[in-house]
Amino acid sequence: MKREPLSFKQTVYLLILFIIGSTIILPVGTEAKQDIWAAVLLAIVMTLPVVLVYARILSLYPERNLLEINEQILGKVVGRFINFLFAFYAFTLCALVLDNFGQFINVTAIPETPLAIPMLILCLLALWATKEGLEVIARSGEVYLPIIVFVATFTFLFLTPNLNINRLQPSLYQNSGGIVSAALHLFSFPFAETVIFTIIIYCTNKTKAMAKVYLAGLLIGGGIILLSVTSVMAVIGPERYQASYFPAYLAVQTINVGDFLQRVEVVVFLIAIFAGFIKISLCFFAACKGLSNALGCKEYRFLTVPLGLLEFLFASNLFNSTKQMAQWASEVYLYFAFPFQVALPMVIWILGEVKRRGRQGSPEVDLHDELR
C-alpha cells in the first residue's frame, strides 16, 4: 500500500512537540522577569505573520517543500545554495538541541557520566528515525504527545499548591524593554524555528490549509509554553529563575504530595526527552534533506550516517560548559537565526508571489483563504 503523506493532525502534533522541544527545560525569556507571560504572548503575536508567510510559501506551490520551491523560484544554482544554507541552519539547530539535552541530563541527573554518552545515543536514535522516514517520526509524535500531555497535566496539578501569584508581581511595570527583548528571544527560540517545517512538509490535499496547520501548531504549542513558563515563574520566582540553568527542573523539585510523591523530577523530565527527540529528529531530517537537495541527490537516506557522525562531533564540541551554552543562546542565537527565520523566507515569499503573478493572470484566487 502506498505510504500516506502526513495528515493534518500529525503535522500539528509535530509542530507542538517541536515547539515544546527543548524550550521547557531551558530558561527562556529571563529578561522579562515576572512578566514572562506577557513576553510569551508578545512572541506568539510576533510569530503569527512570519508563520503565515511560511504557510503562504508552501501554499504557492502545492506538493512541494521549501527546497524544491527554492529551486523553482531562484533557479538551480542559487536555489541549491540557499538550500545548503537552510541545511546548515537545521544542522546547527539540531546540534544545539542535542547539546541542550546532553547538558541537561548531565547536570541534573547523571553528573559522572560523560556528556557525550546521552548525546550519542540521542543522535543515533535520531539517525535511525530519519533513516526510517518522516512517517515514523510523525507516528512516534502521535504516540508521545498524549503521554506528554498526561504527565504535564499531572505535574501541573501537583504544582498548584506551590503556585504563588505574588511572584508574578509587580506585573507590567516599566518593564517593556525586558519584555520586548525576551519576546525577541522567544521569537527566535522556539517559535520561528518552525521554519524547519517548511523543509519537511508540503502542501497536499489533506493539509490544504497550510496556514491552519501552522496556526494550530503555533497556538497550541505557544499555549503550552505560556502555561509552563508562567507556572515555573510562579513557583520559583524571578530571582531563582534567572539564576538557574534549568528552572523548570527546580520548580518540579518542589512537588511534594503526601510525602511519598516527591523527588520525581527525573521522571517528569524523562518525558521532556520525548519532545526533544522529536525536535532533534526533525532538524536532522531537514538537514539531510537539505544537503541531499543541495548536492543534487534524489535520495537523502544515505546521508544519515556520515551526517550523524558530524552532527554528534559538532554538538559535542560546540560548547565546553553549560555557561557557554546559556551565553550563546542569549547573546548570539538571535542574530544567527534571523536570516533563516525571517530574511530568507521573506525574500523567497516576495519572489514567489512575483513569479506567480507573472505566471498566472489572476493571482488573487485563494489568497484570502490562505491568509485569513
Report the site for another protein in 326-345 (rule: CB under 8 A). 327-328, 331-332
Site mask for another protein (CB under 8 A), range 73-112, x = bound: --------------------------------x-xxxxxx
Q: Can you tell me which of 64, 208, 212, 240 binds another protein, judged by CB under 8 A?
A: 240
CA 358, CA 348: separation in Å to the nearest integer?
A: 15
Could you say which DSSP state residue 165 is in? G
**For residue 100, which of 337, 332, 318 has the smallest C-alpha distance?**
318
Report the site for another protein in 173-192 (rule: CB under 8 A). 173-174
Q: How many residues bind another protein (CB under 8 A)?
A: 81
Q: Does 257 bind another protein (CB under 8 A)?
A: no
Q: Whole-number minimum distance, CB 61 to another protein, in Å?
A: 26
Measured from the CB atom, the residue of 54 and 340 that comes closer to another protein is 340
Q: Rounded to 5 degrees, what are φ and ψ at 264?
A: -100, 10
Report the site for another protein in 4-63 (rule: CB under 8 A). 9
Q: Whole-number minimum distance, CB 365 to another protein, in Å?
A: 33
Q: Which residue is associated with the grid cell 497550541? A: 220
Q: Are 210 and 371 in contact (CB under 8 A)?
A: no
Rounded to 5°, angle at Cα 63 from 58 and 66: 40
Q: Does 318 bind another protein (CB under 8 A)?
A: yes
Q: Does 354 bind another protein (CB under 8 A)?
A: no
Query: What is the C-alpha R_g of the chain?
Result: 20
Which range, of 53-61, 153-161, 216-224, 251-259, touches another protein by CB under 8 A?
251-259
Q: Rounded to 5 degrees, what are φ and ψ at 5?
A: -70, 165
Alpha-carbon dihedral angle through residues 217, 218, 223, 228, given to the nearest 10 degrees: 100
In sequence order, what are the beta bridge partners of 256? 262
Measured from the CB atom, the residue of 191 and 300 that comes closer to another protein is 300
Q: Whole-number minimum distance, CB 209 to another protein, in Å?
A: 20
- Give every CB contact of residue 258 below 8 A, 6+ residues apart in sequence: none
Which range, of 17-25, 43-51, 77-85, 317-325, touches another protein by CB under 8 A?
317-325
Using DSSP, state whether 261 is helix, strand or coil.
Answer: strand
> In Å, what is the CA distance from 213 to each residue of 14, 28, 217, 220, 300?
10, 25, 6, 11, 25
Measured from the CB atom, the residue of 133 and 177 that comes closer to another protein is 133
Site mask for another protein (CB under 8 A), range 264-293, x = bound: x-xx--x--xx--x----------------
Report the site for another protein in 122-161 (rule: CB under 8 A). 122, 124-125, 128-129, 131-133, 135-136, 139-140, 142-144, 146
Q: Can you tell me which of 263, 350, 369, 372 binds another protein, judged by CB under 8 A?
A: 263
